[in-house]
C-alpha cells in the first residue's frame, strides 16, 4: 500500500493511506468518506477501496511482525496473541456483515435543525466478508469461558492515537457478547485479503448487527472489565436523546450507549435530484438493513407522498431472518401519478423480521448528535413533461 507523502513531519495524518478517488470525504483529518451512491449497490460485497471510511484519529502504522493482540482482565496480566497464532492456530470463520455508521443519513436530520457531526449522506454503510477466529475461540485460547466469566463488559481498544494521546476505545455488555459469541470475529481479512490500512490493519473486531463505532479498528487490546469503556465515544457520544434535548440541557449519563441498530433503508436509484426518462413509471432500487441480526421482510415504495405503496422485490441475502447480518438489495417499479407537475417525491420504508418499521418523520427522531437517522427515505426527482 502506498503512503501519502508527509507534507510535514508534524502532521499526525502524514501516514494515512492513499484512498480511492471516487470516495466522497466528509472530513479530511481524520479522514472520513463514503462511496458515491451510484457505486454503492454495484456489488453485494462492497469493494474494499469503496467501503465507507470512518476514522476518529490518524491511521496508525502497525508492524505485523511485532504485533501482539493483548487480552486480559482489567488491572490483571495480559496475554498476548501474535498474528500468526490468530491466523493459523485458531479455527477461522467468515461472516458477511454490513457495517453502518451511527451517523449514516445524518444529512437528512440537518435539514430540520443543525446537529454536531459529519454530514453523512446515505452511503455511510457498506458490506464485507470478514474472516478470523471468533471472539469465543480467542477468549477460550486465553483460558476464559465467555459464558461464565465474571465481568460486565468487554472493552476493545484501538492502536490509533490522537496527538493529545487519546486512544480510540469502545465496549459491549458481556450479555451482548454472549449472545453473539460465535458471530463476533477478530477479523484479519476483509473480502479475502488482509484488512486494508483504513479499515483496521491488521485486526478489526467485527460485531454483527451493532453500530460501526463499537467495531474497533486497529484492535490492540481486549479487556474484560466490570465497567463500560470510559472513552469519549462510549460515554459522551453515540447515545440517543429525544428531540427536545440539545447541547444546553444534555446529560450523557442519562442515556445508554448505542449498540444494536434499528431498521434502515434508502433509495439509491434514481438519485435525489435526478431527471427521469419516463413519465409513466419509475424503477426504484435501494438497500435495507436492520441491526440485531434481523432480516428484511418488506420494503414499501410510494411515488404519491405515501398515499399508495408498492412492496418491492427483496433480494435474499442468503442469511436467515434471525441471523441476517448483511443488507438486502431491493427493486420495484412504481407508477408515476398523472398530476406530477414535473416532479415527484419517492419514499421508501422497510420492515424487518421482528416487524419493526422505520419512523415516518425526521422530526420525531431528531437528536443533537444526528445519530440513528432512519426515518422514511424521501428523494425528489424531475419528471419529463
E strands present in 197-342: 204-206, 219-225, 264-269, 281-289, 296-302, 310-311, 313-314, 328-335
Examine residue 258 and tell whether it contacts Mo ion (CB under 5 A): no
| Residue 314, contacted partner among its own copies, Mo ion, none, CB below 5-8 A by kind | none
Q: Which residues, numbered 37-56, are part of the site for Mo ion (CB under 5 A)? A: 54
DSSP state of 289: E
Q: Rule CB under 8 A: choose which of 25, 74, 322, 380 binds its own copies.
A: 322
Print the binding letters for residues 158-197 with its own copies: x by CB under 8 A, - otherwise: ---------------x-xx--x------------------
CB of residue 102 to Mo ion, shortest distance in Å: 4
Q: Which residues, numbered 5-44, are part of the site for its own copies (CB under 8 A)? A: none
Q: Using CA atoms, how far apart are residues 34 and 106, in angstroms rounded to an integer?
A: 13
* Nearest by Cα to 241 from 251, 233, 231: 251
CB of residue 173 to its own copies, shortest distance in Å: 8
E strands present in 263-337: 264-269, 281-289, 296-302, 310-311, 313-314, 328-335
Q: Using CA atoms, how far apart are residues 219 and 201, in angstroms rounded to an integer?
A: 8
Torsion of CA 294, 295, 297, 300, to 10 degrees: 90
Examine residue 212 and tell whether it contacts Mo ion (CB under 5 A): yes
Quick one: 59 or 303, whose CB is closer to its own copies?
A: 303
| Residue 173, contacted partner among Mo ion, its own copies, none, CB below 5-8 A by kind | its own copies
Return the bridge partners of 381, or none: 344
Examine residue 30 and tell whether it contacts Mo ion (CB under 5 A): no
Examine residue 101 and tell whether it contacts Mo ion (CB under 5 A): yes
User: In this chain, which stretch among 28-36, 52-60, 130-138, 352-360 interacts with its own copies, using CB under 8 A?
Assistant: 352-360
Stretch (H or E) spanning 94: strand 93-100
Q: Rule CB under 5 A: choose which of 59, 86, 102, 203 binds Mo ion.
A: 102
Cell of 84: 500468526
Residue 365 backbone zone (phi > 0: left; psi -120 to 50: alpha; other: beta): alpha
| Residue 213, contacted partner among Mo ion, its own copies, none, CB below 5-8 A by kind | Mo ion
> What Å distances lie between residue 298 and 279, 323, 329, 349, 356, CA to CA?
26, 17, 11, 8, 11
Q: Which residues, numbered 283-312, are part of the site for its own copies (CB under 8 A)? A: 291-292, 297-298, 300, 306, 308-311
Q: Using CA atoms, how far apart are residues 147 and 100, in angstroms rounded to an integer?
A: 28
Q: Which residues, numbered 248-277, are part of the site for its own copies (CB under 8 A)? A: 254-256, 258-263
User: In this chain, which stretch among 156-164, 194-202, 204-212, 325-333 interacts with Mo ion, using CB under 5 A?
Assistant: 204-212
Q: Which residues, numbered 227-246, are part of the site for its own copies (CB under 8 A)? A: 240, 242-245
Q: Which residue has the cell 460501526?
A: 212
Under the rule (CB under 8 A), what is the footprint of its own copies? 173, 175-176, 179, 240, 242-245, 254-256, 258-263, 291-292, 297-298, 300, 306, 308-311, 320-323, 349, 351, 353-361, 363-365, 372, 376
Applying CB under 5 A, which residues contact Mo ion? 54, 101-102, 212-213
Amino acid at each position: 500500500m502506498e503512503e501519502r507523502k508527509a507534507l510535514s513531519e508534524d502532521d499526525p495524518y502524514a501516514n494515512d493511506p492513499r484512498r480511492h478517488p471516487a470516495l466522497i470525504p466528509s472530513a479530511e483529518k481524520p479522514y472520513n468518506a463514503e462511496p458515491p451512491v451510484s457505486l454503492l449497490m454495484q456489488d453485494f460485497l462492497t469493494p474494499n477501496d469503496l467501503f465507507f471510511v470512518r476514522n476518529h484519529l490518524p491511521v496508525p502504522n502497525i508492524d505485523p511482525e511485532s504485533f501482539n493482540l493483548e487480552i486480559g482482565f482489567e488491572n490483571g496480566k495480559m496475554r498476548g496473541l501474535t498474528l500468526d497464532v490468530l491466523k493459523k492456530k485458531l479455527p477461522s470463520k467468515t461472516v458477511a456483515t454490513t457495517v453502518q455508521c451511527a451517523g449514516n443519513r445524518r444529512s437528512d436530520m440537518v435539514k430540520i435543525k443543525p446537529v454536531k457531526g459529519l454530514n453523512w449522506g446515505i452511503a455511510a454503510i457498506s458490506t464485507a466478508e470478514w474472516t478470523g477466529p471468533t471472539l469465543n475461540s480467542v477468549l477460550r485460547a486465553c483460558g476464559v469461558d465467555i459464558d461464565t466469566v465474571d465481568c460486565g463488559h468487554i472493552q476493545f481498544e484501538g492502536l490509533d492515537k490522537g496527538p493529545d494521546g487519546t486512544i480510540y476505545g469502545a465496549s459491549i455488555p458481556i450479555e451482548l457478547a454472549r449472545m453473539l459469541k460465535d458471530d463476533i470475529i477478530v477479523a484479519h481479512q476483509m473480502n479475502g485479503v488482509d484488512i486494508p490500512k483504513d479499515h483496521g490493519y491488521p485486526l478489526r473486531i467485527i460485531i454483527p448487527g451493532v453500530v460501526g463505532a463499537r467495531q474497533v479498528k486497529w484492535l490492540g487490546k481486549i479487556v474484560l472489565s466490570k465497567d463500560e469503556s470510559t472513552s469519549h465515544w462510549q460515554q459522551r457520544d453515540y447515545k440517543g436523546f429525544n428531540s427536545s434535548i440539545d447541547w444546553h440541557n444534555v446529560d450523557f449519563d442519562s442515556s445508554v450507549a448505542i449498540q444494536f441498530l434499528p431498521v434502515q433503508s434508502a433509495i439509491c436509484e434514481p438519485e435525489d435530484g435526478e431527471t427521469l426518462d419516463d413519465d409513466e413509471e419509475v424503477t426504484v432500487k435501494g438497500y435495507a438493513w436492520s441491526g440485531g441480526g434481523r432480516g428484511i421482510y418488506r420494503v414499501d415504495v410510494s411515488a404519491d407522498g405515501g398515499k399508495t405503496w408498492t412492496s418491492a422485490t427483496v433480494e435474499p441475502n442468503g442469511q436467515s431472518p434471525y441471523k441476517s447480518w448483511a443488507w438486502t438489495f431491493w427493486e420495484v417499479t412504481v407508477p408515476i401519478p398523472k398530476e406530477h407537475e414535473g416532479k415527484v417525491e419517492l419514499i421508501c420504508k422497510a420492515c424487518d423480521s421482528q416487524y419493526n418499521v422505520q419512523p415516518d418523520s425526521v422530526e420525531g427522531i431528531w437528536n443533537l448528535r444526528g445519530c440513528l437517522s432512519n426515518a422514511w427515505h424521501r428523494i425528489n426527482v424531475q419528471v419529463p413533461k
